[in-house]
Structure 1
Amino acid sequence: MLMLHCVPSTESKNEFTISGSVKGASTKQLILYYKNKENKSIADTIPINNGNFKFIGYLNNPQKVALTGNVKERIYDNQNIARFYIGEDKVSLHLIEDEFNKVKVTGSDIQDEYIKYLKQTESLYKRIYPIMLEKKSLMNQVYNGDDNAIIENQLNDLNNKHFTLLDSIRTKNLRYAWNHPDSYLAADVILFYNTALSKDSLKKYYTNLSEPVKTSFQAEAIKKIFSLNNNIAEVGEKAPNFYTKTSNGKEISLTQFKGKYVLLDFWAGWCIPCLKKHSELKELYKTYHPKGLEIIGVSFDKDKKSWQDNIKKEEVNWYNVFVGLDNIKKDDAISKKYNIQPIPAYILIDKDGTIIGRYLNADKDSKDMEDLEKSLKKLLK
């Protein structure tokens, strides 16, 4: 196991150096993005002299940084952005214009650890790539109007394979984090997977970290999340109430549905899997609405016009409320209260306002529509 540095108290012990060369006439300067000793986000400009550069900075703990060259858009896979880990190291790298993303870093212990960490799931990611290509091809057929049961079955099969591989990757990565409590990389891994963990599990992973790692900004972020998650209800707990307006301008709250079963449907018009599930939801609504089921569609559409248009297009006749893509992480958003990020996601609430089921992306055990239908069939005979 690679043991990384504790956080020292003196400035010199927090020092790092990045030096190297740049090949390419268009790159006049570099910009380094990182968090400094005070955990403030910093963007430092690094001049290039005769193709060479050197920069000395100070950070609180080992972290992933971004070094950019001639960049117009900061998209994640931009070829002129180099991302790598650095601690209290003297790092050397040689950059080639339009190939920053392929840079090899020397002198960073945590970057060496990160490379080894990636290798443990390399074979799994290689299996995902052809699945994604095949899914893209099938989705193009759907967009071109070739939607049929055969394509849908093929997509479902590919999605299942994709999710199974992602679950395997997540399991391996979280096991790594658990087995390396002295690694600052472990804190990054836990932070990345925080939405896939229950609040109790997240707290256990945090507690398992060594005391030096707990002082990192990554670990502080984890602690903040599970502290906030104390207010996020899970199965068996009371569903958080909310007040909002429907697509018809009617004010509603969750408490007004006491005495009925409520299904929260988190969706968006841009979400193809969400739209695919609407036909199944309509059948469930047709069967169980007369028996006491209400559905509240919670939209992540980009704006209210798109939301209204998609409601009409999909012909969904249940209650519809708007959160919006830009608001899903706000503390008062319905999606935040129920810890929803990937969609489609469904939450089932009983007559007393208690959460009794989470399905699809709202669930960490991958319960699906079939599980939802079984629950409704049992509850609403």
Structure 2
Amino acid sequence: MEPPRQELFNMIQGYKTTQALYVAAKLGVADHLVHGLMRAEDLAKEVGANSKALFRLMRHLAALGIFTQDKSTKFGLTPLGELLRTDNPESMRYSAIFSGEENYKAAGNLLHSVRTGETAFNHLYGKGHFDWMAENTDASSTFNKAMAQTLRRRGNPVESYDYSGRHLVVDIGGGRGDLIGSVLVSNPTMEGILFDLPQGSSEAQSHLKTKGVQDRCRIETGSFFDSVPAGGDVYVVSRILHDWSDDKATAILANIRKAIKEDGTLLIRDSVLSDNDVQGSTLDLTMLIMTGGQERTESEWRSLLQSAGFALTRVYKKEGQLDLVEAKPDKQPPHRR
């Protein structure tokens, strides 16, 4: 066990690890090491980098266990490094890239958020994250791929949920369709609707085709602040509501309440905060700096749902970073917050 000073020092130095992983992911280093060991000089030619600087980066990441380094100074992949390969089914490459770009810059303005309560990203970029991504297609694509990769971390309770007797699932803010695609693959008698902004769903058609479910899933575009597709008996909202303040989250839920069947089910994939929840509280800080949203406790989820005409029926605790909240339409009048 390390002394407290060293333990704290390691935490303080964490920003360098984030950037080192980001650079390796951005350059695609792991993809070039898939066929065997390489010297930094040869690797630098492949990825377009300075050989001496790349050697120093690789040496550091080898010390962290991301890559191997042998006596001839050739580098290779470890099990951790394998996760930075683009073609790895468990890849976290785009998660590393997203964490090292606008997310990282916003984190550097956390002090502004804590002092003012304002969203660091908005302060830094002059507009909200989603508005900014609408103007930056590369960043939007990276974000969608990063979100898709987090779906695969230690299972997804939305995919394993029992959809018996259900016919139409509507994925609100479904991005490129990773989640609804997996649900439809596992439930071959169901049909689906993927609903998102045009820039959010721009890659959905090709991805759903890859999944083999394009004939059972239609894509609709629009803003969930205006309305959502009606008639579904299951509505899925995965990692959406935590992006927004209570007022805006209530507006989204109210639109879903208007659209859902009276015997329908709402599934919310987000954190349900508890004491000493490191992953959940880390994600909560991300919402503070990136979107102005927040993670919520079970009681906060219950109150939020009541304000939009839903009753919380069950919480499935996390296997990975996120939990699953199940809710049903409430026959009682909405409880206003």
Q: Same fold (TM over 0.5)?
A: no
Query: What TM-score do the two structures reach when normalised by structure 2?
Result: 0.32
Higher relative contact order, structure no. (Cα contacts within 8 Å, ≥ 6 residues apart):
2
> Could you say which structure has the higher helix fraction?
2
Query: What TM-score do the two structures reach when normalised by structure 1?
Result: 0.29
